[in-house]
Structure 1
Amino acid sequence: MNSFRMRLTLILIAMIGLAVLAAGLFMGKTYRDNHLDALRDNMTREMKIILDQMEWRTGDPDSLYMYYTGKAQRLKTITDTRITFIRSDGVVLGDSDHDPKTMENHLTRGEVVEAKKSGVGWTTRHSETVNENLLYVAMLVNPNNPEHSDIIRMALSLQKVDESIQRVWAALIVGLLILFVAAALISFRVAQGLTRPLEQITRVSKRIKNLDYRARVEVTRHDEIGELGQAINAMADSLQEQMSRIHTNESQLASVLDNMINGVVSINSSGKILLLNRRAEEFLGFSAKELVGHHFASAKQQYELSQIIQEALERREHLRDEITFYFPEERLLDLNLVPIFDEDEDNKFEGVLLVLQDVTAIRRLERMRSEFVANVSHELKTPVTAVKGFAETLMGGAVNDPETARSFLQIIYDESDRLNRLIGDILELSKIESRRVPLQYSPVELSSFMEKTMELMSAEAMRKHIRLSTKADPGVYVEVDEDRLRQIMMNLLANGINYTSDGGSVSITVEPVLGPGQTLEDNYEHIRIHISDTGMGIPKKDLPRIFERFYRVDKARSRSSGGTGLGLSIVKHLVELHKGTITVDSQVGIGSTFTIELPVIQ
Structure 2
Amino acid sequence: MKRTLFGKFFLSSLLILTVTYAVLFASMSQLFGQFYLSLKERELKRRGELIASILTSPTQEIPETVKRLSEGIHVLLVPLNSLFAPDSPFRHGPQMMRPGMMFRRVFPLQELENRLRQGKVVTFQGMLPVLRQEMLVVALPLPPDAPPQAVLFLSTPLADIRMTVKAFRYLLLWSGLVAFPLAMVLAFLFSRSLSVPLKKMRTMARAIASGDYTKRLEIPPEEELGQLAQDFNTLSQELERTIRTLEREKREIENILLALKEGVVALDLEGRILSANPKAQEVFETPLEGKARIDEVLPQDVAALFQETLKSGVATQGECVFHSKRLIVRVAPLEDKGVLYGAVGVIQDITELRRAEELRRQFIADVSHELKTPLTAIQGFLEAVLDGVISFEEFREKYLPLLYEETLRMSRLIRDLLDLSLMESGKVRWEMEPVDLAALTREVVLKLTPLFREKRVNVENHLALPLVVFGNRDRLAQVLTNLLHNAILFSPEGSTVTIEGEEREDVVTISVLDEGPG
TM-score (norm 1): 0.44
Computing the radius of gyration over CA atoms, which structure comes out larger, 1 or 2?
Answer: 1
TM-score (norm 2): 0.50
